[in-house]
Amino acid sequence: MYEPLLDSILPFNLLNDKEEVKDGYIISEDDIQKLAFKYKNSINFDPFSNGFGKAKVSEEYFKKRLITGNENISKISDSTLALNLYDGFMLINTANLENAITLKKPIIEKLSINNKAIDLKTDPILIPFGNNNITINVSSPLSSNHTFEYQLSNFYFKAPWVETKNGILEFSNLSDGSYTLLINTKGSKQSKSSNLRIDFKVLSPWYKDTFGFIIYALLLLLSALTIYFLHKRKIKKEQNLLKIKYSKTQKKLLDERARENEKEIIKLKNESLENEVNLKSKQLANSAMALIKKNETLQHLKESFIKHKENFNNQYLFKNLIKQLDDSIEHKDEWELFEYNFNQVHEAFFNQLKAQFSELNKKDLKACAYIKMNLTTKEISTLFNISIRGVETLRYRLKGKLNLAKSDSLKGFLQNFN
């Protein structure tokens, strides 16, 4: 730009600051009112103008024919321009170019769902969920020689642009969610109008809506309560089982303790009885020894009397004394007391002997008792007031009555007999 005050050429910032011209350069001559800019793939006429500025010539008309670096557009007439090419000229009719680029944004004529028209005033447009066949009719009355192009997208996907010639857009079985539909008018030379934007929302089904969430919440609450009460019942059942188990364990412990106490009592009783038996055995042994001593004394006295028999003037008195001594040696009352004490120590020894061996007489029973008490042959002879030979004969006869063999031990048999 020439600056008269400075008398110099300066950058024309009003033009240089335009974004539309930064990637191109002017190729038109000065006598042309509308500037022509050369871009990589097209020639645009006055791109920053609100009127004619959107007019352009696509690369397909001059590809590989431009004189790169020396492009020039000259004026032939008011409506005709000439672009120099390496093999001639291209004539550009600006009047036809203006008409050709007039592409208007499309408008919605009708939007229907399942052939039922809906109100377009809501934003976003609400569409019920389900078998939703959506039909959109668009038009561009002020555009000529055009088609339509649309793109459907939502949060999850962005579909490619799709071209339609009849101005009818159809969609079916859309999932719930918010959608954005962009529609533009497309010219024959790939020119496009600005986009028409339609926002619509496919409503969620009941099981994804508030009502569904209320149902889910109630079901969740019901499930939680059911689980809670089942868990509580299970805990109560387990507690009852533990109580029963504890009671059984306690009863078992008490029974074991009672058995142990009973065993201890029986043990103490047995010990007491054993002590009592030992005491009685000692008493029985002492009684037997006393009886033996007494009989020995009486026996010695009898022998002394017999030895000095001639010193007795009265034979009747002598016989009477001898008889009294014999009665004392074989005193029945002392034997009955001995038998009673013996039965206390050795339970029913005599009864079992009598029941098993009926041939035994009282003298045999006495001999069995003395042998069981481990008395010697001499001690037994003193008690019976017989000789040792007589005791041996008595023992021999006892073996026969007790069905014992000669090699069997009479003493061992009687001491183990119960």
Which residues on adjacent β-strands are paired with residue 25? 38
Per-residue pLDDT of the chain (418 residues; tens, 9 = 90+): 888 888 999 888 777 776 666 678 888 888 887 788 888 878 887 765 544 445 677 777 788 888 888 889 998 887 788 999 988 898 888 766 655 555 778 888 888 888 888 877 777 788 887 777 889 888 887 666 678 899 999 888 888 988 888 888 988 888 888 889 999 888 766 678 888 888 888 888 877 778 888 888 999 999 999 999 999 999 999 999 888 888 888 888 888 888 888 888 888 887 887 677 666 666 666 666 667 677 777 777 877 877 777 777 777 777 787 777 777 766 556 666 666 666 666 666 778 888 888 888 888 888 888 888 788 888 778 777 788 898 899 888 888 888 888 888 888 888 888 6
- Residue 297 · residue 290 · CB < 8 Å: no
What does the angle CA 266 – CA 272 – CA 275 come to, to the nearest 5 degrees?
A: 140
The 3-class SS string of 338-374 reads HHHHHHHHCCCHHHHHHHHCCCCCHHHHHHHHHHHCC
Q: Which two tokens stand for residue 301?
A: 């006295």
CA atoms within 13 A on the CB side of 345: 20
- In whole angstroms, give the CA distance from residue 90 to residue 84: 7
- Global pTM exceeds 0.85: no
Neighbours of 128 (CB within 10 A): 13
